[in-house]
Amino acid sequence: MGVDMHDFLPLVGVWSEPVKNEVEKGAIRKFAQAIGDDNPLYSNEEAAKKSRYGRLVAPPTFSRTFDYGRIPNLVLPTAGLIHGEQSYVFHRPILAGDGLYASQALVDVKERSGKLGRMIILLFSYKVENEAGDLVQTATSTIIYRPEGGNSHD
Amino acid sequence: MTKGMRFGVGDRLAPLTKPPVTRTQLVMYAGASGDFNPIHTVESFAQEAGLGGVIAHGMLTMAFVGQMLTDLFGESGELSTFGIRFIDMVRPDDIITCEGVVTEVEEAANGQIVTCDVWATKAPGDVKVVQGTARFSIFA
């Protein structure tokens, strides 16, 4: 395919336009069901109301469901991507009814050759802020792309 | 978990063993997360991609480890950082056990700040499918 890290370098540091995400009760419940987590704070409004949160709470990795907007001119291949790492810093809880602004950027790109062939390593950064502009969550993902193929998974 | 819980370096976190991963669960996670990559849900596609069948979303396994952490402290604590490296593929019928050990404890005015190594395996003592670290506060 001829893709190399120089295709990505000009995009480093370019943030997407933040997208507003409404945190819906139903979305939290469905996410909790999918991961098989029966924590009442995620699904039982009475329990959540009595908690210090006062509203249904989102599980730690729920922000995976958000729309982070498009990074201009970024075209990712559809196959050959491996999710290498994921990390979160939690600043404030995410609660049902929140309106949160999510954005993303490619923040680093490296190329390596190993025994599995050539790898392009993309580091993405994610930001979630509330309507007051306070930081709710930041995250990073390491995505490994093998241009010459191989198994794709994430 | 009750208020006033305390941790020390070397303490094992209460492990969490999840029911076997199912294909239905992968479809549910795809729908709930919006990650519709067919390698997680379409058997023929995953076969053609050379994966030998559908594999679980790495983020599903991370969510299992997240549940182990939140089950641990309930409302008496709060997660502040959580990072995972994805090491091996998880497939339908795999039974994932999440574990952890405390590596650092900082005494704070209103409780403790606990750092731990966390991981998940398909069987106790087996190779790790994910591995990482987490930090959480425990309120006294």
CA dist A59 to A4, A146, B98, Å?
Answer: 36, 32, 16
Q: Please tell me the total number of residues recorded for chain B in this structure.
A: 140
Q: Return the exposure string of B112-131: e unless at least 16 CB atoms fall within 10 Å of the residue's CB, then b.
A: bbbbbebbbbbeeeeeebbb
pLDDT of residue A152: 46
Asked if residues B66 and B132 have their Cβ atoms less than 8 Å apart, the reply is no
The answer to whether residue B9 neighbours chain A at the CB level (below 8 Å) is no
CA pair distance B137, A26, nearest whole angstrom: 28
Query: Are A64 and B35 a contacting pair at CB < 8 A?
Result: yes
DSSP string across A21-84:
EE--HHHHHHHHHHHT---HHHH-HHHHHHSSS-S-B--TTGGGGS---PPTT----SSSEEEE
Test mutation, B17, B24, B39, chain A, max A CBs within 10 A: B39
**Closest Cβ opposite residue A154 in set B37, B63, B79:** B37
pTM, to two decimals? 0.95
Q: In this predicted complex, what is the ipTM? A: 0.95
Query: Are B66 and A60 a contacting pair at CB < 8 A?
Result: yes
pLDDT tens-digit map of B58-114: 999 999 999 999 999 999 999 999 999 999 999 999 999 999 999 999 999 889 999
Gap from B99 CA to chain A (nearest CA, Å):
16
pLDDT tens-digit map of A77-132: 877 789 999 999 999 999 999 999 999 999 999 999 877 788 999 999 999 999 99
